[in-house]
Amino acid sequence: MEQISVFDILKVGIGPSSSHTLGPWRAAGRFLSTLREKELFEKVDRVSVTLYGSLSLTGRGHYTDLAVILGLCGADPEVIPPEDIRPMVSYIEQSGCMTLGGERDITFCPLQDIVFEKTFLPFHSNGITFVASDKDGKELDSETYYSIGGGFVVQEGEMPHVGEGVDVKKFPYPIQKADELLSYTKREKCSIADVVLENEKTIRSVPEIREKLLGIWDVMLQSIYTGCHTLGELPGGLRVKRRAAYVYGRIKPYLIYNDHREWARELRHVQADAKNVFTWVSTFAIAVNEVNASLGRIVTAPTNGSSGVIPAVLLYYLSFVNPKATDDHIIEYLLVCGEIGSIFKKEATISAAQGGCQAEIGVSSAMAAAGLCHLMGGLPQQCLAAAEITMEHHLGLTCDPVGGLVQVPCIERNSMGAIKAITAAGWALNNDPSVPVVSLDSVIKTMWETALDMNTKYKETALGGLAAQVPVNHPDC
């Protein structure tokens, strides 16, 4: 059984895609580690990269080539200043030289050394192969990795179980399915958040868990703030105008603040009626994904393409439902969200290249619905019902990014996912939790069967759906 930490599901990264940007970035880092372990690093004179399947078909729109370059340079997606990314890549493109692992200069020409191969490898749609050679052109090592969604990476022949929960003391409450999670809460007479916290305590202390989760929320909040205060166009060639800042400028009252934390405190005093509250929620969600689409820093939750849903719903709760909420509420929300996401990953997928957008927006919306239901006093079975209701209405959602960019229709889908999560939480709270017609495990199984039946062109290939209907005439797309 996979032992997946909340921090595997919610992790800081750079946009626009967890599977096409963050995953290949991490894969490049793993390749560097392998070269060092085999004592080959000092002999490398050149590295070539081949991107397969979905990574090839939408790789340029998702900046997969940039991510690979940054990963080979040893840059960390959690800390690199986003404004440094393009200058670093431009220098390498112009000079034909890369500092491998931040230590050794080698020859690297992106146009020659990164190959986009449309062939799909058998194991997963997102395959990537690295080949290192010495100064005589002799191959030193070749490794193939797969970006399996949400920034998770596995090597050829490796079981997909790598996470923070691996190689530590076994979780006291091992969870594969939602029914197991529910049984623990009934046996221990506790909440979902309590169960998840006990598992997390096998990895780090409670103060460390709290600090890390609040750090996750701080990055989420910063991305909402940045999106709500940045006008202009998104990069990539579609000429999509940023809308979050425009809408925020129309609906905001007079507020005084200097940064994202002060802004969040001020929002707790905003009065919003039923007509306007969903405009606020949609603006929060769109703000995050405009930052994501701009190579900005966001939290993968559970993917980059769906990163706006969970923070938007939490800020909705803090601003309009319970302005007196504390850090404990934030922590519990993220614990519940993280566990729901891990169950979807174990039993189905969080990769749009495998399951379409139901695996991204659908999962993030289900996570947010469960977390919100918990904060609003829902019983564990009601929280699971909220997640089930949400996914039930995302089944079959295709991934069809126009121009291969995480912009149209992806950004708007985050706002719709946030609204569905809020609606589902309300329905779950008003339903009798003892008689669910459809269980969360059943809808997850259905989602996976739907993913298996879905035509490949609707799985993050930009070959079908809106991607095939909207004309794109720009070299960057």
pLDDT of residue 164: 61
For the chain, percent of residues with pLDDT exceeding 90: 89
pLDDT at 476 over 70: no
Measured CA to CA, the distance from residue 89 to residue 424 in angstroms comes to 43
Report percent pLDDT > 70 for the chain: 97
- Is the pLDDT at 321 greater than 80? The verdict is yes
Query: Three-state secondary structure along 160-189?
Result: CCCCCCCCCCCCCCCCCCHHHHHHHHHHHC
d(CA 158, CA 111): 30
pLDDT in tens, 79-128: 999 999 999 999 999 999 999 999 999 999 999 999 999 999 999 999 99
How many helices (H) and strands (E) the chain has is answered by 20, 9
Report the C-alpha gap between 264 and 267 in whole angstroms.
Answer: 5
CA within 13 Å, CB half, 428: 35
Give the model confidence (pLDDT) of 233-283 as tens digits. 999 889 999 999 999 999 999 999 999 999 999 999 998 888 899 999 999
Cα→Cα distances 260→119, 219, 224, 263, 407, Å: 44, 10, 8, 5, 24
Per-residue confidence band for 477, with pLDDT thresholds at 50, 70 and 90: very low
Q: Where are the alpha helices (DSSP H) in 238-301?
A: 244-251, 260-267, 274-293
CA–CA gap between residue 146 and residue 324 (Å, rounded) = 44
* Average pLDDT of every residue of the chain: 94
Indicate the range of 221-235, 282-296, 334-348, 432-446 predicted with least confidence: 432-446
Angle at 331 between CA 19 and CA 221, to 5 degrees: 60
Q: List, as one string, the DSSP characters of 109-157.
A: -HHHHEEEE-PPPSS-SEEEEEEEE-TTS-EEEEEEEEEEETTEEEETT
| Cβ-contact 89, 99 below 8 angstroms | no
| Start-end of CATH 3.30.1330.90 domains in the chain | 14-155
Residue 316 scores a pLDDT above 90? yes
pLDDT at residue 169 in the model: 67
At residue 23, the pLDDT reads: 95
Average pLDDT for 335-349: 97
Between CA 363 and CA 304 the distance in angstroms is: 12
The model's confidence at residue 332, banded by pLDDT at 50, 70 and 90, is very high
User: Residue 323 pLDDT > 90, yes or no?
Assistant: yes
Rounded distance between C-alpha atoms, residue 297 and residue 226, angstroms: 10
How is domain 14-155 classified at the architecture level of CATH?
2-Layer Sandwich (3.30)
Q: What is the pLDDT of residues 185-231, one digit of tens each?
A: 999 999 999 999 999 999 999 999 999 999 999 999 999 999 999 99
Given a cut of 80, whether residue 439 has pLDDT beyond it is yes
- For position 398, what pLDDT does the model report? 96
DSSP 8-state code for residue 438: S
Give pLDDT tens digits for 408-428: 999 999 999 999 999 999 999
- Write down the residue that tokens 């079959």 correspond to: 396
**pLDDT grade for 432, boundaries at 50, 70 and 90:** confident
Q: Give Cα separations from 203 to 193, 216, 289 (angstroms).
A: 16, 17, 31
Q: How confident is the model at residue 436 (pLDDT cuts 50, 70, 90)?
A: confident
- Rounded to whole angstroms, the Cα distance separating 115 from 4 reads 33
Taking 70 as the threshold, does the pLDDT of residue 43 lie above it? yes
pTM, two decimals, is 0.94
